[in-house]
Amino acid sequence: MEEVLHACAFEDNYIWLIRGTSPSHVAIVDPGDAAPVLAALEKRRLTPVAILCTHHHGDHVGGVGDILKVYSIPVYGPARERIPTLTHRLADGDRFSLPELGLDFEVLDVPGHTAGHIAFYGSGKLFCGDTMFSAGCGRLFEGTAEQMHTSLSRFAALPEDTRMYCGHEYTEANLRFALAVEPGNPDILAYRDQARAIRQQDLPTLPSTIGRERRVNPFLRAGLPGVRQAAEKQAGRALVSEVEVFAAVRRWKDGFRG
Ligand code: ZN
Ligand code: FE
């Protein structure tokens, strides 16, 4: 049985529907819009048991209110962000169970994209919102490069077969940038072809895995000499620490038009 279903919202958002041991119950992750979620629940005859929110941006929480008008269910989310609909305010190290799904989750504080951004980790799956994307990472709207580097390092330390579900389908554009950073990386070249074929069928490139992200994601690879050299060339100066390399790669991506 496929464990994680999805609904699409807006241009490129994914709203994940996590199924556990029960085929008919789901948890909804980051419902930026209610309509596609309610349609998916109805079509597949699914009953939601909880909403999980990674951060306060509208494209991740905008549909919570309308879902709650139809289903009275708990809303788990970051303690340090202002999301009025939360019933369970979570911070680093918190754990909770969704018994209807037979699933347990651990909470990771992963600031950088927003100041209070959290991720949900459990059963070999990571729901990381806009902190990490496949072959990329979120923009630094509220956090520092150092915070984001620390957050991504925590993801990188998870088991390599961890399946990673992020908030947006940005993979192909991210891989164009990844190739600008590491033009000869065979894993990036292979993944680019694979992602193109998947997108041509209008399917999600996700989930990715932590193992793959370590091989292709430039934001997890700031410690490698090749990435450092590319970042130094771009920045026009020597970069001393890994965080400096990371910050330079993030700035490079901000202005990148691939
Ligand atoms: Zn966001
Ligand atoms: Fe987003």
Q: Which of 30, 33, 59, 109 is catalytic?
A: 59
Residue 2's pLDDT band, with cuts at 50, 70 and 90, is: low
pLDDT tens per residue, range 183-218: 999 999 999 999 999 999 999 999 999 999 999 999
CATH topology (fold) of 3-254: Metallo-beta-lactamase; Chain A (3.60.15)
Task: Kindly state the average pLDDT of the residues 141-154.
Answer: 98
| pLDDT for 1 beyond 70 | no
Which ligand has the nearest atom to the CA of 56? Answer: 1
Q: Which of 55, 56, 117, 149 is catalytic?
A: 55
Distance 167 CA to ligand 2 centre (A): 6
Assigned token pair, 191: 């993944």
Tokens 């941006």, residue located: 57
| pLDDT for 258 beyond 80 | no
Residue 240's pLDDT band, with cuts at 50, 70 and 90, is: very high
Three-state SS string across the chain, please? CCCEEEEEECCCEEEEEEECCCCCEEEEECCCCHHHHHHHHHHHCCEEEEEECCCCCHHHHCCHHHHHHHCCCCEEEECCCCCCCCCEEECCCCEEEECCCCEEEEEEECCCCCCCCEEEEECCEEEEECCEECCEECCCCCCCHHHHHHHHHHHHCCCCCCEEEECECCHHHHHHHHHHHCCCCHHHHHHHHHHHHHHHCCCCCCCEEHHHHHHHCHHHCCCCHHHHHHHHHHHCCCCCCHHHHHHHHHHHHHCCCC
Which ligand has the nearest atom to the CA of 29? Answer: 2
Catalytic residue list contains 168: yes
pTM of the model: 0.98
Strand order in the sheet with 4-9: 4-9, 13-19, 25-29, 47-52, 75-78, 88-90
How large a percentage of the chain has pLDDT more than 90? 98
Catalytic residue list contains 30: no
The structural domains of the chain, with segments of one domain joined by +, span 3-254
pLDDT tens per residue, range 95-133: 999 999 999 999 999 999 999 999 999 999 999 999 999
Residue 134's pLDDT band, with cuts at 50, 70 and 90, is: very high
